[in-house]
Amino acid sequence: MTTAEQPPFSYSLHNVTTTVSDLDASIAWWNRVFGLTLLAKSRFDAIGADVAFLQGPGFRLELLQPADGIRLPELTAEPPAHIRPIGNKALVFRVEDLGSVTQTFRELGVTIVWEQLDLGDGSISTAIRDNDGNLINVFQEGASPVG
């Protein structure tokens, strides 16, 4: 493994962003399924989109609703074809008890792509889709080299 050189500036992750078709419906979905809370909601006139910032445990999620949003079916393709388009693939969360979390997803009526899949490194994963079809991977740590 190589060691990265220190960049000539300091930085931290501010947020992760995803576009949505209905901002209010997405705010409600993220609150209901993951308990994210609304920090702020406004408009970005420069890009022609409404925006909401949600707070999660140790991260912020930015939801953008563009006035002229389009769907590209390749971006929400079923796995494993979902990895073919170059770009972001999934939001990934780590949990301690995937069985319990998967059961919660079932009870909430969340769209499940796969349940408790053995990833081959001792980790297991349940993948779901948000209300716009974006892939979210939730895994329980195993022997993965990056945990």
The reported pLDDT for the residue numbered 31 is 98
pLDDT-based confidence at 55, cuts 50/70/90?
A: very high
- Give the closest residue to 92 by CA, choosing from 117, 123, 127, 63: 127
Check: CB of residue 111 under 8 Å from CB of residue 121: no
Q: Which residue has the higher pLDDT, 97 or 7?
A: 97
Nearest to 22 by CA among 135, 134, 137: 134
* Ordered alpha helix ranges (H), 35-134: 98-108
Question: d(Cα 7, Cα 78) in Å, to the nearest integer?
Answer: 37
The yes-or-no verdict on residue 47 having pLDDT over 60 is yes
23-46 pLDDT, tens per residue?
A: 999 999 999 999 999 999 999 998
Taking only the tens place, the pLDDT of each residue in 95-147 is 999 999 999 999 999 999 999 999 888 889 999 999 999 999 999 987 555 55
SS3 content of the chain, % helix, strand, coil (to 5): 20, 35, 45
Q: 124: Cβ–Cβ under 8 A, 6 or more apart, which residues? A: 98, 116, 117, 118, 139, 140, 142
Q: How confident is the model at residue 3 (pLDDT cuts 50, 70, 90)?
A: confident
How many CB atoms are located within 10 Å of the residue 119 CB?
Answer: 14
